[in-house]
Amino acid sequence: MNSCKEEEQQLKCAWVNGPIIVGAGPSGLAVAACLADNGVPSIVLEKSNCIASLWQYKTYDRLNLHLPKQFCELPLMGFPKTFPKYPSKHQFISYMELYANKFSIEPRFSQSVETAVFDSDCELWRVQTKDTEYMSRWLIVATGENAEPVIPVISGIEKFHGPVIHTSVYKSGADFINQKVLVVGCGNSGMEVSLDLCSHNASPHMVVRNTVHVLPREMFGFSTFGFAMELLKWLPLRIVDKVLLRMAHLNLGNTEQLGLRRPKTGPMELKNVTGRTPVLDVGALSQIKSGNIKVMEGVKEMTRRGARFVDGQEKEFDSIILATGYKSNVPSWLKCCDFFNEEGMPKTPFPNGWKGDKGLYSVGFTRKGLLGTASDAVKIANDICKQWTVKGPKNCCNAHIILRRETQ
Ligand SMILES: Cc1cc2nc3c(=O)[nH]c(=O)nc-3n(C[C@H](O)[C@H](O)[C@H](O)COP(=O)(O)OP(=O)(O)OC[C@H]3O[C@@H](n4cnc5c(N)ncnc54)[C@H](O)[C@@H]3O)c2cc1C
């Protein structure tokens, strides 16, 4: 790699011998490992100061993988055999660290990518951080579907007297002992945070505005997700959904009676079409049944002491937790590119959303969790490897010449 000084902007320029990967989460690490395995070097730029920063900084203490470990492995290296079926977040992080070590992946930390553009004059991607401009033939976007918290507009929230936090900063119910807490959102995080609050003697009220599919995490000793994946090998999606809903009913009873209305579309079809993940219940439902978690309809407005709900009820709260999900940040830094839509997701859905034009790739934007990451990473590495073998050394020389000319 070369570097040069540009007095005016004080930007270092760096030619990257191989692809630039933006993001050192599981997706960035997976694709770097697959490239390394094919003999292709790469550079990983990470805005945080560690790998897997979502897992290290933005997840709650009691989190375990939602899916069994065999559906969350990265390519080329499985989980340690000693890990349980649903590894804890700490175990997952230690797996990520072992993974990065095994493939000698050393991301450049504190390198938040501010812009990336394709320069058609020199046919290179120009990727800019605060202090450096990196250039390469290939750009791999691995910044994740969960890069930024979604903060909804709730009328009157600025008047509320207590703390309002997003689940990305929630750690444990220990911070809310004996409090009345309004949890806005009923996805996996909303349910699990409510459950955690219960086990710390807090009183959670969970706002359920939309329809939601709740499935047991396990049915008759088997993982529901694993069971669905097996069925999908033999049966059409809609039949699988019917089987899942029938079995969920046998296991959980009628969730509609608890205020959890099911969408008309089945759970797996909904996940495929919209990316909405069904809730895999780890205990919140029994707390709802026993009244420890109260289900509330939508919030009409917040007041100074609490909330007014659409059904006319008014209640006081000490704190509010927004379990309102995350979004991609790609539109904020990837410029002049029509491969991603306004939400920062590839316009072409899975399984074809991994490759764009002009050496652009995306990994981990499949709405299929780590299973989708593994599939993307292998395809991207194979694709770049073919180009590397054919054109690598020639392009490497060209790029050096371009850099020198620019900096004279
Ligand atoms: C609470 C929770 C539980 C989950 N449980 C599961 C599960 O059990 N199974 C499963 O398959 N999936 C699960 N997921 C989904 C999970 O987020 C992904 O599967 C996984 O973390 C995706 O990895 P990723 O590398 O694509 O994205 P991320 O893990 O989000 O990593 C992206 C990285 O990019 C960095 N970055 C972002 N913007 C920039 C920038 N501009 N410049 C440089 N770096 C940048 C971020 O700092 C981050 O380190 C869960 C998600 C959450 C929130």
Tens of pLDDT, residue by residue over 309-348, are 999 999 999 999 999 999 999 999 999 889 999 999 999 9
- Ligand 1 pocket check for 67: Cβ under 6 Å: yes
Name the residue among 284, 364, 292 with its Cα closest to residue 329. 364
8 A C-beta contact, residue 374 and residue 94: no
Going from the Cα of 143 to the center of ligand 1, the distance in angstroms, rounded, reads: 7
Q: H/E element holding 191?
A: helix 188-198
Reported confidence tier of residue 9, pLDDT bands at 50, 70, 90: low
Locate the ligand 1 atom nearest the alpha carbon of residue 71 and give its number. Answer: 11
Residue corresponding to tokens 């000084």? 5
Pairwise CA distance, residues 72 & 370, whole Å: 5
Single-letter code of the amino acid located at 157? I
Structure token digits, residue 130: 């605060």
Reported confidence tier of residue 396, pLDDT bands at 50, 70, 90: very low
Residue-level pLDDT at 273: 86
Tens of pLDDT, residue by residue over 231-270, are 999 999 999 999 999 999 999 999 999 999 999 999 999 9
Tens of pLDDT, residue by residue over 163-191, are 999 999 999 999 999 999 999 999 999 99
Q: Where are the beta strands (DSSP E) in 185-288?
A: 203-207, 214-216, 218-219, 222-223, 279-281
Pairwise CA distance, residues 85 & 168, whole Å: 24
Single-letter code of the amino acid located at 271? K
Residue corresponding to tokens 């371009």? 402
Percent of the residues in the chain that have a pLDDT greater than 70, as a whole number: 93
Locate the ligand 1 atom nearest the alpha carbon of residue 51 and give its number. Answer: 49
Reported confidence tier of residue 403, pLDDT bands at 50, 70, 90: very low
- Ligand 1 pocket check for 96: Cβ under 6 Å: no
**Ligand 1 pocket: which of 223, 370, 371 to mutate (most atoms <8 Å of CB)?**
370
pLDDT at 51 over 70: yes
pLDDT at 280 over 60: yes
**Exposed e or buried b for every residue in 33-43, given b needs 16+ CB within 10 A?**
bbbbeeebebb
As a whole number, the mean pLDDT across the chain is 92
Structure token digits, residue 234: 């033999």
Tens of pLDDT, residue by residue over 102-137, are 999 999 999 999 999 999 999 999 999 999 999 999
Structure token digits, residue 330: 């790609």
Domains observed in the chain: 6-147+328-403 (3.50.50.60), 150-322 (3.50.50.60)
Residue nearest to atom 51 of ligand 1 (CA): 146
pLDDT at 36 over 60: yes
CA distance readout (Å), 95 to 63, 183, 356:
15, 31, 30
Going from the Cα of 311 to the center of ligand 1, the distance in angstroms, rounded, reads: 36
Residue-level pLDDT at 226: 94
Calculate helix-pair angle for 224-232, 237-252, nearest 10 degrees.
150
Reported confidence tier of residue 289, pLDDT bands at 50, 70, 90: very high
Single-letter code of the amino acid located at 373? T
Structure token digits, residue 128: 């800019």
- Ligand 1 pocket check for 377: Cβ under 6 Å: no
